[in-house]
Amino acid sequence: MCTYRKRRYFRHILKKIWLRYINFYTLLNMKENKVHFRHLMFFFYRKDKNTTQAANKICAIYGEGAVAERTVRKWFARFKAGDFNLKDQKRPGRPSTIDEDQIKTLIENNPRYTTRKLAEILNMSKSTIHEHFVKLGYINRFDVWIPHDLTQKNPMDRISICDSLYKRNEETPFLKQVVTGDEKWIIYNNVKRKRSWGKRNEPPLATPKVGLHPKVMLCVWWDWKGSFYQTTRR
């Protein structure tokens, strides 16, 4: 009698260990187990088991909640209709590439669209829009400040003037005689920079600075030795 009880006890322990292993294996292999569960559902269907019996038997082996009865009911309905394909059917709706092409077109037309605005236009969730941005390689970043927009002629004029001054200083040194100054607007209320979407290898969009109030102008004068006078103007 004692030996019989020991055997029952060890069988019970081995069963618990086996069930824990199966549950652990199930968590690690959810995709593979989906197809495996469908094979089991088909097996029980061929054995004339009902959906409740099939779900209970699968959960008894793989743990509670391994498969829902409504899932078994759905697959039994497919088997009854003569569909024995155990793979997932293609989901209805437009392909992901179409969504990505639409997002790419919208961003190229207006890089400052927010995910919320795109979600409204395309009737998608913000998280789906963000996933497409990641696939397309877009990142969201601040625009860069520039004093003003330059024409194509401006950089060429700068080069010409610098070259002329350099040659003049070689012939007649004059730089130590130069007194120059500059001013800078100190803004009390800073404007928040905007964000826009762009490729990682592309430069960010530029935003010209605009006049803001209230502000104060700092004026500084200096020569070759350094700054010698500064004042402020409102």
92-126 per-position pLDDT tens digit: 555 666 678 888 888 888 998 888 888 888 888 88
Count the Cβ atoms, other than its own, within 10 Å of residue 208: 10
| DSSP designation for 48 | T
Distance CA(19)–CA(8), nearest Å, equals 16
Per-residue pLDDT tens, the chain, 234 aa: give them: 456 565 676 676 766 666 565 555 544 455 557 788 888 899 999 999 999 999 998 888 887 777 888 889 888 988 888 888 887 665 555 566 667 888 888 888 899 888 888 888 888 888 888 888 888 888 888 888 877 777 888 889 999 999 999 999 888 888 888 899 999 888 776 667 778 888 878 888 877 666 656 788 899 999 988 999 999 887
Using the structure block, give the residue that is written with the tokens 């009865």. Answer: 69
- Whether the pTM exceeds 0.85: the reply is no
Distance CA(101)–CA(114), nearest Å, equals 17
Burial environment of residue 72 by CB neighbours within 10 A (0 to 12, 13 to 18, 19 or more): buried
Angle between the N-to-C axes of helices 51-62 and 2-28, in degrees from 0 to 180, rounded to the nearest 10 = 100
